[in-house]
Structure 1
Amino acid sequence: MDSSEITLEAVSSISQIPAEEWDACANPPVATEGSREGSKSSYNPFVSHAFFSALEASGSAVPRTGWGPRHLLARCDGAIAGIVPCYLKSHSQGEYVFDRGWADAYERAGGSYYPKLQASVPFTPATGPRLLIRHDVDQDEIRNALARGLVGLCQATEASSVHVTFAREAEWKLLASHGFLQRTDQQFHWHNQDYRSFDDFLATLNSRHRKAIKRERREAVANGITIHALNGSDITEEAWDAFFAFYMETGSRKWGRPYLTRSFFSLIGETMANDVLLVMARRNNRWIAGAINFIGSEALFGRNWGAIEHHPFLHFEVCYYQAIDDAITRGLKTVEAGAQGEHKIARGYLPQTTYSAHFIADPGLRHAIKDYLKRERAYVAEMGRELTAAGPFRKDNGALGDD
């Protein structure tokens, strides 16, 4: 393919992009054995048109909230061949890769850090593709065109920077070749070693942690609590009402203003119900706590949790142990339990490196950040090694951590 055939543009709403064209780039139709029924190979629900559409149509990720869509499109002979989901931002909230210190330093020096461009899934710290490309085009050509296009979009919007967060490692390396700085962090993921049951998983743990998890699971439901895993048509508007109340209660305490609106949950209930696992706890005939998960072809992604009653170990049961149970049942390889939380290690979730790439337009700021990131990457790597060594698995088990 001649690169002169590729044109680039940015659009201000996902509604300007047909769902079938977006999804052909985001989740290309490449079938493999073992994919769940109705899914695509390596299906990632967070990059689907339905997920972004729900974020924007619900008023969650829109200019009013500081997320102005600037989705970058690469076209070949007029047809969309590649997309980067991208937002022009006036703040650094809802990203989970923290650059507030960079903004403060730049503004103290007289610069304007905002607006900036954020190539990510809003409010979603889950690794996935960020350079979305159709399967039937020259992958390298489009990938490089999109990387160059992000730099050009930074200049065209007079942004200070471009931040591609929770990218795949291969994208991280490619973007580095286009002048993006490399950053790492870590999350805690659970890895399925072809377990047939939760007891199979427990058998790989040392005695102390195995007994602790069994006790936590018993005590989590000791006060007449029942656990319900809802998927598809099982998720009613009444369940969404209850979950949103949990989300608001917990989010208001942690963040001050939760990011997602009530209508967001109704929209994903209409368009993505089969991709959602809502784990809910019930006591005295009312919902008291819940966690939302999204189902990919290879991973279960834990996202938001909330509660209006607080019981010992209920958070661990609803968020972590139920997710492991479901992943085993579905034959999924991984449970990604979201950002932060070293307490997850004792529950079998091990450190996993995450990757982000940052184009900084100002040479002085770029030099300072580059030096900082070199030291940060070394620290993240060392912490990952130490935390993996402190994991709960039997030393003769050989359970995999970061790879």
Structure 2
Amino acid sequence: MNNMNCDPDNRILTSSPTSTTSGSLSQEVDHLLPTSLAAEELQLALNKEATEEELLKAINRCKDLVLESDQCSVERKWLVRHLIELRLRLQECQEAMNDPQHPRNKSSGVSKRTIRGHHLNLQPLLRSTASRYCDHCTGAIWSVVQAWYECEDCGYSCHHKCLAFIIRECAHVVASERGSYELDICPEIGLSGQKYLCAECKTPMSINREWSETRRCDYNGLYYCSACHWGSSAIVPARVIHNWDLTPQPVSQASLQQLRVTARRPLINLEKLNPKLFTFVHELNLVRRLRQELMGMRKYLLVCRKATEDHLLWKHVDIPHLIDTSDMYSLQDLVDTNSGELPSKLHTLVDVFSKHIKVECEICRGRGHICEICSNDEILYPFDATAYICNECNVVLHKHCFSRKDICPKCSRIKFRQEQVVTENGNDVAEE
């Protein structure tokens, strides 16, 4: 695990050798079967139904071919890789003979397993160029020959032989039960608080000044061993909420899977957690204003027959919570806000919905308002940036008109009528 690095999506990748001028050409043909070995491929094929005896013969034949081939040749590279696959297939065959529940046995019927909340599905034996590692033993998964499972909820991957030893709870279950993020920045309790044990697998962790396997997770502040913390990095919600810091931090595999599962869930109420952030981050304040406009437009579109028939909301809105509320954000929303992608998307939605309400649809256009103060012919809508909505009577006025007059004409009429009723009732009582 020491020779691994992470890609931008936090997937673990093996380190690649240094590239040379001839290296790129060899990599292009490296994965192809050499023509000189085409006849041998029929004898060395990785047949799913091959017996232990057939696999042993193929391994011996492959060893002989390795010795006969030239050093550093394409043929030798292919043969060595093929020898490894044959040995792994032999190991799988021997495990299947000792385990009646092994997926290689047709009568096992174990294509799905449910362990610690994981809904694990048996994966097909396919050639794949993507590197994948077991989340339990950290060993490489050879998808060509090894039986392995993957959780459909959190992406947890493991060998068939590691199923009985799974310790980690499904990230989907943990996130659903908790319902929120850790809001403190790296709430460290120290190794002594963990009794010098790994936070996940409870393996004793040695403390050495020169070298130590202990690794801290920046999300929950706990310490893990190298088998549970692969050095992956992710954006930590607490740092974003309090400091608008979107720099990826080292996190454990369990925390990484939880953050991936909840990345698009609206779990962050910025208005409640850190309202001052809108003052310092211009893009965030812009997103809030655009979302408030979209919420007002949504009320028009929900009662519009034409918009319902054209499925206007379904066609253009792929993230429902963006127009349902202006307070709740997902972690991905904040990342997209920082990159400028979310403001651009919201601007497009505002333009589409505004065009329908103000230009294309007569029904929506007829639900506009006229400012009672200036009596201008301009049609006002509650979601307009220039509109002011009275908190008492919900009348729509121009902002500059209301600030100049500082009184709502409709509220004045209502108050005047109430006073008239009180006066008339008083006169009637006096006459009686």
Query: TM-score band, normalised by the shorter chain?
Result: under 0.3
Q: TM-score, normalised by structure 1?
A: 0.26
Which has the larger strand fraction?
1
Q: Which has the higher contact order (CA 8 A, sep 6+)?
A: 1
Q: Please report the TM-score for the alignment, with normalisation by the length of structure 2.
A: 0.25
